[in-house]
Amino acid sequence: MRFSSALFLASILAVTSSHGVHNSINDDRSATYLSNPSVPSRLDRRAASSDPVQIALAHFKTVSPSATLRSNGDSYTSDDSGITHVYLTQTHNGLDIINAQGNVNIKNGKVVSSGNSLVNGKINAPAPVRRATIIDPLEALKGAIQKMGYDLDVTQARAVQDGFSTMRTAGGAKNYRIEGAKGAVEDPKAELVYYQTATGEVKLAWKLTTDLDESYMLTYANANVAGDILGAANLVSEAQYNVYPLGVNDPSDGKRVLLTDPANESASPRGWHDDGTTKYTDTRGNNGRAQENWDGTPDWENNHCAEGGEKQVFNFPYDPKAHITNTTEARGYIDAALSQLFYTSNIYHDFLEVLGFTEAAGNFEELNSGSLGMGGDAVQLNAQDGSGMNNANFMTPPDGQRPRMRMYLWNSTEIITDGDFDNGIILHDNRLTGGPARTDCLYTIEAGGMGEGWSDFFPTALRIKPGDNRKTNYAMGDWANGVGIRPHPYSTDMKVNPTTYSWIGPNSTYWKVHPVGHVWATMLYDLMWNLEDKFGYSPNPFPTFRKNTRIPKHGRHLAMKLVLEGMKLQPCFPTFLTARDAIVDADYQLTGGENACEIWSAFAKRGLGVDARTEGNDKIDGFKMPEKLKCHNKNYEVETQH
Ligand SMILES: *[C@@H]1O[C@H](CO)[C@@H](O)[C@H](O)[C@H]1NC(C)=O
Ligand SMILES: *[C@@H]1O[C@H](CO)[C@@H](O)[C@H](O)[C@H]1NC(C)=O
Ligand SMILES: *[C@@H]1O[C@H](CO)[C@@H](O)[C@H](O)[C@H]1NC(C)=O
Ligand SMILES: *[C@@H]1O[C@H](CO)[C@@H](O)[C@H](O)[C@H]1NC(C)=O
């Protein structure tokens, strides 16, 4: 089997456009921006405070003396630049003015630059005091429903004051809730605000927020003129997927969640459904095309894809407890299976890209001489493929056609399970992204076995949960077939998983790619827990990085990063010995070698210490740490006792 990791990662290199604001009926308005404004000396003295918000407020006292501003409370300091970004909203009569914002960038207590869209001059908008001229919030919502066509029934609804409000108009409060609206996920809300129009006029308005499930509408309705909609935006901007999210391995491991816009904006700037030529509304896109292949034949182009419609909503029924006993019945939830397969393949692509799998282009050109370009080479993802059972596979046809992944149904348990819902199996076989190693360098048993091992390790590291620790064991594929598809679970416990380097000798029953991979992934699992114990856990499957670096902050992410970087360093036809050394080197390059103890002790525990060796064909365990290394951490001192 050949691996084709490079193909579709190469396609992201040509991406240029971005997606961001959606469905807004607002016009493009621009704010003024002051780069390196000359800071008046008067301000310097006044802004002696080191509080960035105070500095920002003082700054606008000179830029726009008549404006009243409040902090949005969401200022933050950028790791990369050390600049603190402060955001302010203009207010009038105690109400926010929508579209009247200021932002100030501050470094070392000094204003670096600022921008604003504040109201120029005197504000002539009506005061929020004369009840008679202010439309009731329910009437404002009715106007919005009529003008915007929202699928919402408010004939039985009434407006009630919402929570404690410090601002009281003459006739009532500032905040309302609309009780009894049919069609909304929760009660619509109304807040009295001012709204700055594109021409700079300021109007009293009701800010209406309505969660209609498939869309989350923010509407600004003129509070003085019935039916006058000043602005609207759909906050549910892009695709939604009802899936087991990355981190939930399978239906026994957690629940499906309706995710909105899960694509990472930097790894997939155009989202997942746009291949550069066509913007699909179904499970096709630049990274992969997911369709059923019930008849198991090579024809697939016209097979059914899950359709998300204009709004790209992939929310299809699936009941993991349903007693499915034949494969025909399983077809009833094909759209949910396709959504999952499409989601998992794409999110894993984004994940690896963020983690630093950027060598793709080189590999790609080397292997495919540039003939497989953009767009049309998305991987073929077959759900419920009829050509087999109880497995999954990935292959690249020798003639350079698009790579193909086949996911099968499983009948090894009492009920039929569907590999399309086992993220571990999808990720394992997703070599398009899961095989960052040079694809032409893995066809020996030892090297190919490590390819399998990496493909077990990444999904396993991704399923680590809050509260797990080094005593937690995970079996691969245990939901699909009931017991797991490897000889042992992944475990740091030598009694649960006793495998060591010597197990893979060519005379052993382990001398096949999957068992060899099992031993390699076991070593990496030990390594991961050594780093988890040192750096801690983050529940987010996506890594966060140390300031100004690409070094992941948390244990499992750092482990995945070191493994990934090791793959880039290792020679062609890697062996356990060279791959181990490449991981040690990767740590040296990335961190200056601060994790040498954690890395070596994991390998030494599993017989891949400095004295491990091959003699003829045999693999000889070695449990020694490098002599010069001084390691003091209790955790792995205990572990390295043999
Ligand atoms: C599959 O199961 C369904 C429902 O139990 C049944 O109606 C159908 O005949 C079965 N099909 C086959 C091919 O056994
Ligand atoms: C997307 O990836 C970038 C790093 O490339 C990261 O900074 C950002 O937080 C990610 N976004 C999400 C939503 O995870
Ligand atoms: C599972 O499916 C295969 C292929 O259709 C069949 O040969 C086998 O008998 C089935 N096993 C069970 C337990 O139903
Ligand atoms: C492995 O098998 C070869 C060939 O059968 C044999 O010569 C060799 O002694 C075996 N090695 C071990 C350690 O059993």
The structure tokens listed for 605 are 């525990």
- Strand locations in 180-297, DSSP E? 189-196, 202-211, 216-222, 229-234, 240-243, 257-260, 288-292
**Whose atoms come closest to the Cα of 358: which ligand?**
2
- Residue 4 confidence (pLDDT) above 50: no
Distance between CA 397 and CA 402 in Å, rounded? 7
Domains recognised in the chain with CATH numbers = 131-234 (no CATH), 248-418 (3.10.170.10), 445-620 (1.10.390.10)
Query: For residue 417, how far is its CA from the centre of ligand 3 (angstroms)?
Result: 12
Q: Judge whether residue 1 has pLDDT over 70.
A: no
Diameter over CA atoms, the chain: 95
Q: Is the pLDDT of residue 422 over 80?
A: yes
Residue 125 DSSP code: P
Q: What are 150-193's pLDDT values in tens digits?
A: 888 999 999 988 765 444 444 457 889 999 999 888 899 999 99
Residue nearest to atom 10 of ligand 1 (CA): 326
Span from the CA of 341 to the centroid of ligand 2 (angstroms): 22
Q: Residue 490 above 80 pLDDT?
A: yes
Please tell me the distance between residue 329's alpha carbon and the centre of ligand 1 in angstroms: 6
Query: How far apart (Å, rounded) are the C-alpha atoms in residues 195 and 470?
Result: 55
DSSP structure string for 370-392: T-S-SSTTPEEEEES-TT-BS-E
Residues above pLDDT 70, as percent of the chain: 79
Residue 580 has pLDDT above 90, yes or no: yes
Q: Which residues line ligand 1 (CB under 6 A)?
A: 326, 328-329
Tell which one of 327, 329, 331, 415 to mutate to probe ligand 1, the residue whose CB is within 8 A of the most ligand atoms: 329
pLDDT in tens, 273-308: 887 677 788 999 888 899 999 999 988 889 999 999
Centre of ligand 4 to C-alpha 507, Å, is: 6
Q: Indicate the pLDDT class of residue 535, thresholds 50, 70 and 90.
A: very high
Residue nearest to atom 5 of ligand 3 (CA): 389
Quote the ligand 3 centre to 391 CA distance (angstroms): 13
In the reported structure, the alpha carbon of residue 287 is separated from the centroid of ligand 2 by a whole-number distance in angstroms of 18
Joined together, the tokens standing for residue 224 give 């003085």
- Rounded CA separation 493/489 (Å): 10
Q: Which atom of ligand 2 is nearest to the CA of 545?
A: 7
198 residue type, one letter: A
| Amino acid code (one letter) for 136 | D
Rounded Cα distance between 415 and 344, Å, is 23
Ligand 2 atom index nearest CA of 264? 1
Return the percent helix, strand and coil in the chain, to nearest 5: 30, 20, 50
Give the residue from 551, 639, 638 showing the smallest Cα distance to 595. 551
Ligand 2 pocket, CB under 6 A = 264-266, 354, 542
* Residues 223-244: tens digit of each pLDDT: 999 889 888 766 555 689 999 9
Q: Is the CB of 259 under 6 A from ligand 3?
A: no
Per-residue model confidence as pLDDT tens digits over 498-530: 999 999 988 899 998 899 999 999 999 999 999
Residue indicated by tokens 């103890």: 597
551 phi and psi, to 5 degrees?
A: -95, 115
Check whether 452 is labelled as a binding-site residue: yes
Chain-centroid distance, C-alpha 383: 23
Cα(510) to centroid of ligand 4, in Å? Answer: 14
Task: State whether the beta carbon of 411 lies less than 6 angstroms from ligand 3.
Answer: yes
Q: Encode 141-176 in three state secondary structure.
A: HHHHHHHHCCCCECCCCEEEECCCCCCECCCCECEE
For residues 218 and 132, which has the higher predicted lDDT (pLDDT)? 218
411: nearest Cα among 340, 482, 488: 482
Q: What is the DSSP string of 339-364?
A: HHHHHHHHHHHHHHHHHT---HHHHH
pLDDT digits (tens, 9 = 90+) for 293-348: 999 998 888 999 999 988 889 999 999 988 899 999 999 999 999 999 999 999 99
Q: What percent of the chain has pLDDT over 90?
A: 44
- Which atom of ligand 4 sits closest to the CA of residue 618? 13
CA of 617 to the centre of ligand 4 (A): 8
Residue predicted with more confidence, 632 or 635? 632
Which ligand has the shortest distance to the CA of 618? 4
Q: Which atom of ligand 3 has the smallest separation from the CA of 412?
A: 13
Q: Which ligand is nearest to the CA of 296?
A: 3
User: 59: annotated binding-site residue?
Assistant: no
Q: Tell me, what's the pLDDT at 428?
A: 79
pLDDT at 106: 85
Mean pLDDT of the chain: 80
Residue 439: the pLDDT is 52
Per-residue pLDDT averaged across 562-577, rounded? 85
Q: What pLDDT, in 10s, does the model give residues 24-66?
A: 233 334 445 454 433 333 333 344 468 889 999 999 888 888 8
What predicted TM-score, i.e. pTM, was given to this entire model? 0.65
The closest residue, in CA terms, to atom 3 on ligand 4 is 507
Judging by DSSP bridges, how do beta strands 417-418 and 613-615 pair with one another?
unpaired
**Averaged pLDDT for residues 424-448:** 64
3-state secondary structure of 249: coil
